[in-house]
A and B are shown apart, each in its own frame.
Chain A
């Protein structure tokens, strides 16, 4: 049982390049999330998908797009990467996004934009 798996683990991009972070969970969870973590800023919610077929903006959605491909997979795309998007990105999932549901996190993807 792998839990939440995200790829790639490390990536270096040039400004203006695009890339997609992939995420999959094998816990049959309904809800999935993308967070970014910067030093001193904690975890900030980028986008979430409460259930298959829906996506919603979180705290910091600008510069990102997401796709809930199916119940298992939730991808995060940077169309034109900027240095400000250098961060550690975490994908997560939970049975539901409402109260009482623990969020399970992947191991993180370290992205550097130069």
Chain B
């Protein structure tokens, strides 16, 4: 069936470096994607979204890239900070992937 999945369950990044979190989707008809951030003990929170008529969207320190040809999207976080430690989910838009845990190394 259709699914939204992530490539890596855990990602460790040095503080100050850029982070890239990937997500693959299988439904070629999907036209809207959202990235969420979930901190420990809390519910997921919206980070950024992108529609299928776009290839790139930028927010504050975050960028989402969408490659419809290979059905892949990524979340880039610039200058990663300790507060970025969390689990990140892509969603399509109400079906969620399994998540990637981002660890920030001092």
Contact = CB atoms under 8 A, between A and B. Distances in A.
B44 A105 contact: yes
A3 B43 CA distance: 12
A92 B49 contact: no
Contacts of B31: 99
Interface of B: 9, 31-32, 34, 41-46, 49, 51, 89, 91, 93-99
A37 B43 CA distance: 10
A99 B99 contact: no
A33 B93 CA distance: 12
Nearest to B97: A42
A92 B89 CA distance: 15
Contacts of A92: 43
Interface in A6-53: 33, 35, 40-45, 48
B105 to A, nearest CB: 22
Contacts of A100: 32, 49, 51
A103 B46 CA distance: 7
Contacts of B42: 107-108
A102 B42 CA distance: 17
Looking at chain B's contact residues, is the secondary structure mostly helix, strand, loop, or mixed? loop
B21 to A, nearest CB: 13
A42 B45 CA distance: 14
Query: What are the 9 closest A-B residue pairs judged by CB atoms, nearest first?
Result: A105-B43, A99-B32, A42-B98, A43-B96, A102-B46, A42-B99, A105-B44, A42-B96, A90-B43
Given A99-B31, A99-B32, A99-B51, A45 B43 contact: no
A43 B42 CA distance: 13
A102 B94 contact: no
B26 to A, nearest CB: 14
A41 B5 CA distance: 10
Given A99-B51, A100-B51, A45 B95 contact: yes
A80 interface: no
Contact of B45 (A40, A99, A105): A105
A103 B98 contact: no
